């Protein structure tokens, strides 16, 4: 669970000196999903103030299953945040290959099926009504 939660709290932002009442609700929701707050490898603000009166803060959080191999391994990449005022979070999520079931369909090259497929496409393109197209913008 990853988001800009817009909750300032000392649990994840050392510049904050208090606990938010919303923090408890967020932690309760995470706990009900068997998730824990994952900590950044390189600590720093996840949002930069857009004016002189504001201050940088940690608002973007990552909650993960603590048994995930990527737990506590995500990082900030402030070098690529423009034009956003939020810093991208780089997260590695381990996926075991044996858990991925996939199938695909393909037409064998130079087969009768490929020839019939191409003929159908050509026929459909030729049947497109272009009588209302007067210029390139109409396309």
Domain range enclosing 94: 1-99
List Cβ neighbours of 42 (8 Å cut-off, separation of 6 or more): 75, 76
Residue 129 lies in a domain: no
- To the question of pTM greater than 0.85 for the whole model, the response is no
Give the CATH number, domain containing residue 86.
Answer: 3.60.10.10
- CA dist 37 and 27 (Å) reads 8
Confidence bin at 79 (pLDDT 50/70/90): confident
Residue 118 lies in a domain: no
Total tally of structural domains belonging to the chain: 1
Residue 41 lies in a domain: yes
Confidence bin at 83 (pLDDT 50/70/90): confident
Residue 17 lies in a domain: yes
* Residue 22 parent element (H or E): helix 21-32
Residue 121 lies in a domain: no
| pLDDT tops 70 at residue 95 | no
- CA dist 74 and 61 (Å) reads 10
List Cβ neighbours of 102 (8 Å cut-off, separation of 6 or more): none
pLDDT at 60: 80
Mean pLDDT score across all residues of the chain: 81
Longest CA span, the chain: 72
């Amino acid at each position: 669970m990853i988001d800009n939660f817009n909750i300032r709290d000392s649990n994840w932002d050392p510049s904050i000196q208090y606990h938010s009442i919303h923090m408890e609700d967020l932690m309760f929701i995470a706990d009900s999903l068997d998730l824990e707050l994952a900590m950044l490898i390189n600590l720093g603000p996840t949002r930069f103030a857009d004016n002189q009166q504001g201050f940088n803060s940690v608002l973007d959080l990552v909650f993960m299953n603590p048994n995930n191999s990527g737990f506590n391994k995500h990082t900030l990449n402030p070098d690529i945040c423009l034009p956003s005022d939020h810093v991208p979070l780089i997260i590695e999520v381990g996926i075991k290959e044996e858990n991925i079931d996939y199938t695909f369909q393909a037409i064998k090259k130079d087969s009768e099926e490929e020839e019939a497929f191409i003929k159908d496409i050509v026929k459909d393109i030729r049947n497109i009504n272009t009588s209302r197209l007067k210029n390139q913008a109409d396309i």
